[in-house]
Amino acid sequence: MRQPIAWLLPIALAFLGNSASAQEAYISQVGMSHSAANVAFGTGNTQNIVQTGELNAGAQITDGSDNTSNLVQDGLQNIGVSVVLGQRNVSNIVQLGTSNQAVFSISGMNNAVTALQVGSFHTASVNLYGNDTDVTIEQYGMGREVDLNITDQMVSSSNPGATRSSANNDRFQVGVYQASTSTPVVASITRTANGSLIIQP
């Protein structure tokens, strides 16, 4: 049974009143059914979680600017969650093994998130609200799935076929790289400088 992640969020939110700059946090866990959460509020913080085993749950929550979070999971049926709020933050999830799940929730601008999943039957979910944000999902193996929910706050649309931007220099970019052998399949959603969307399978 997959380890629930929901109970980690109230614990993480308890730290909401605390902010700091240039802090570092490291968590390392080996075994089964572990849970870990790192929370960074402020500027220039670094947080790392490494979990080896199965049925582990890790959460990285970042609110502020110029923060970096890394979550590495090696094993079976692990779940990694990254919540990014603010600007110029970087968040990475690396998962090796089988049936792991990566979940991103991003709100803000100039952020960058990356998921690398190697093995089989991995899933990645991205919920992005913001602009000038880069999302990269790389999956290598079999039975892969990527779910994207993208909302560009600089865009308004009267119908699905026509979008326009209120600021021409804002954009987001999403790249999905999938490969079962050495040949990847690439898909991207990109907003150009004039506000139009280009979708390339």
Domain ranges for the chain: 24-154+178-200
How much is the average pLDDT of 2-11? Answer: 52
87: pLDDT strictly greater than 60: yes
Q: What is the pLDDT of residue 50?
A: 95
Per-residue model confidence as pLDDT tens digits over 52-73: 999 999 999 999 999 999 999 9
Pairing of strands 173-179, 134-142: parallel
Q: Which residues pair with 176 in a beta bridge?
A: 137, 187
Over the chain, what is the mean pLDDT? 75
Q: What is the pLDDT of residue 116?
A: 92
Distance (Å, rounded) from C-alpha 181 to C-alpha 140? 7
Residue 120 CA to chain centroid, in angstroms?
A: 19
Count of Cβ atoms closer than 10 Å to residue 14 Cβ: 10
Pairing of strands 197-200, 185-191: antiparallel
3-state secondary structure of 12: helix
Q: What is the pLDDT of residue 183?
A: 43
Using 50, 70 and 90 to split pLDDT, how confident is the model at 93?
A: very high
- 67 or 17, which is more confident: 67
24: pLDDT strictly greater than 70: yes
How much is the average pLDDT of 185-200? Answer: 54
Q: Of 191, 189, 195, 190, whose CA–CA distance to 166 is shortest?
A: 195
Using 50, 70 and 90 to split pLDDT, how confident is the model at 145?
A: confident
pLDDT > 90: percent of the chain: 36
Name the strand (E) or helix (H) holding 8.
helix 8-13
Distance (Å, rounded) from C-alpha 21 to C-alpha 18? 11
